[in-house]
Amino acid sequence: MASPNGGDDFETSLLSFERLDRASPDLWPEQLPGVAEFAASYKNPIASSPPKWMAELESEDIEMLKELGSLTTANLMEKVKGLQNLAYQLGLEESREMTRGKFLNILERPKK
């Protein structure tokens, strides 16, 4: 077992007096490439033009996004379940209409 003073010598031997320049991009590369450019472009969002995807939205779409963004997790899950149920009901209705069209022969291609 090492003496208490011997431990201090060991810790002292582990010290490094090397000075690293943190400004060097070679020594300290970005953790996530592109983040610096994104942060620089995001500093003043008001002065910049809206993103391309947002330019195509109508006012109703923006209101819907705001409404969905204000929902709690539970309310958002309820909304998603409602949309899934609606999609299922629409699928059933479409299936009935396609079957009806098949029986009425309105979906057949005309013979040449």
Query: Is residue 9 one of the residues assigned to a domain?
Result: no
Domain count, the chain: 1
Query: Is residue 22 one of the residues assigned to a domain?
Result: no
The per-residue pLDDT string of the chain (112 residues; one tens digit each, 9 = 90 and over) reads 444 555 678 888 888 777 766 665 555 566 677 777 777 776 655 556 777 777 788 889 989 999 999 999 999 999 999 999 999 999 999 999 999 988 888 877 777 6
Domain of 102?
A: 34-111
**Cα 93 to Cα 89: distance, rounded to the nearest angstrom:** 6
Whole-model pTM: value is: 0.45
**Cα 31 to Cα 38: distance, rounded to the nearest angstrom:** 13
Query: Is residue 15 one of the residues assigned to a domain?
Result: no
